[in-house]
């Protein structure tokens, strides 16, 4: 089960920042907070940068530890399909575009663990009525 208190704190942080400083500042600070927290968590888990199997392992373990169900239905040398079956931030729907919010953490996950030669595209999103959110990550 998703850790509601954990994710609720992040939602509240974003809402207050947006109300007080506008969306651009809220997204910038949210990105910095997410990156700091994820970096600390991921670095403790140990991984070899660029290793696809480590990427899948670290993200699965970390996401599961905060109550998010994720799957990786396709993993190849040049493509990874990453699916979220739980919406970490349902309270932000309608308050920010999901592309902007998701980029505050997905880009970091990819760059920090896989490297700069990877990019992602959102192909499905729960906010758009899909069953899950899906990111297709490909090597540039």
Could you tell me the domains of the chain?
A: 4-139 (3.30.1380.20)
Query: In this structure, which long-range contacts are made by residues 76-82, counting pairs with CB atoms below 8 Å and at least 24 apart in sequence?
Result: 77/52, 77/139, 78/138, 78/139, 79/136, 79/137, 79/138, 79/139, 80/52, 80/55, 80/56, 80/136, 80/137, 80/138, 81/134, 81/135, 81/136, 81/137, 82/120, 82/134, 82/135, 82/136, 82/137
Q: How confident is the model at residue 4 (pLDDT cuts 50, 70, 90)?
A: confident
Tens-place pLDDT, residues 8-64: 999 999 999 999 999 999 999 999 999 999 999 999 999 999 999 999 999 999 999
Asked if 2 contacts 68 with a C-beta cutoff of 8 angstroms, the reply is: yes
Q: How confident is the model at residue 3 (pLDDT cuts 50, 70, 90)?
A: confident
Query: Which pLDDT score, from 0 to 100, does residue 116 have?
Result: 97
Q: How confident is the model at residue 119 (pLDDT cuts 50, 70, 90)?
A: very high
Q: Is 87 helix (H, G, I), strand (E, B) or coil?
A: coil
Asked if 43 contacts 108 with a C-beta cutoff of 8 angstroms, the reply is: no
Tens-place pLDDT, residues 85-110: 999 999 999 999 999 999 999 999 99
Asked if 15 contacts 27 with a C-beta cutoff of 8 angstroms, the reply is: no
């Amino acid at each position: 089960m998703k850790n509601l208190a954990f994710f609720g704190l992040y939602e509240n942080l974003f809402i207050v920042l947006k109300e007080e400083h506008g969306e651009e500042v809220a997204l910038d600070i949210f990105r910095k907070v997410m990156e700091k927290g994820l970096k600390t968590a991921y670095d403790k888990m140990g991984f070899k940068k660029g290793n696809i199997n480590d990427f899948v392992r670290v993200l699965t373990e970390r996401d599961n530890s905060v109550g998010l169900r994720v799957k990786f239905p396709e993993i190849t040398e040049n493509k990874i399909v990453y699916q979220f079956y739980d919406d970490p931030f349902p309270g932000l729907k309608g308050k920010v575009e999901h592309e902007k919010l998701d980029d505050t953490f997905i880009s970091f996950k990819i760059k920090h663990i896989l490297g700069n030669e990877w990019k992602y595209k959102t192909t499905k999103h729960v906010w758009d009525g899909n069953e899950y959110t899906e990111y297709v990550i490909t090597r540039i």
